[in-house]
Amino acid sequence: MKKRVRSHEDLEVYQMAFAAAMKIFTLTKNFPKEETYSLTDQIRRSSRSVCANSAEGFRKRRYKAAMIAKYSDAETEAAETQVWLDFALTCGYLNREKHQILKQEYDFIIGKLVRIIKDADNWTL
């Protein structure tokens, strides 16, 4: 039996994005100090933005185009996070296993966001 979605926090995609952002926060604590205002800041911002845009998209369900725009923003932020993960791997700040796990999680998040966008008529109020 499916649980009724009453807020953005009930969305599986939000929960997954939040958990992934927290993993990134923890991992980036070990990044070099010289990356504080570049890679560390960028990857934390983009990963958190997936959650924020998902929440905004959920609240904009009265207006299909506005809802789609926010979920599209969440999708692009998830893709941006994947790029920063690639940089972290290449720079040697992240091992291959953690990189692969997080990239896969973001692939799944992107897939869920795309499904919401494609199924927008069923999400709008």
Distance spanning both ends of the chain, measured CA to CA:
22
pLDDT in tens, 71-123: 999 999 999 999 999 999 999 999 999 999 999 999 999 999 999 999 999 99
67's enclosing H/E stretch is helix 64-90
Q: Given pLDDT bands bounded at 50, 70 and 90, which one contains residue 1?
A: very low
What gap in Å lies between CA 105 and CA 108, rounded to an integer? 5
Q: Given pLDDT bands bounded at 50, 70 and 90, which one contains residue 68?
A: very high
Average pLDDT of 59-63?
A: 96
| Residue extents of the structural domains in the chain | 11-23+36-119
CATH H superfamily, domain 11-23+36-119: 23S rRNA-intervening sequence (1.20.1440.60)
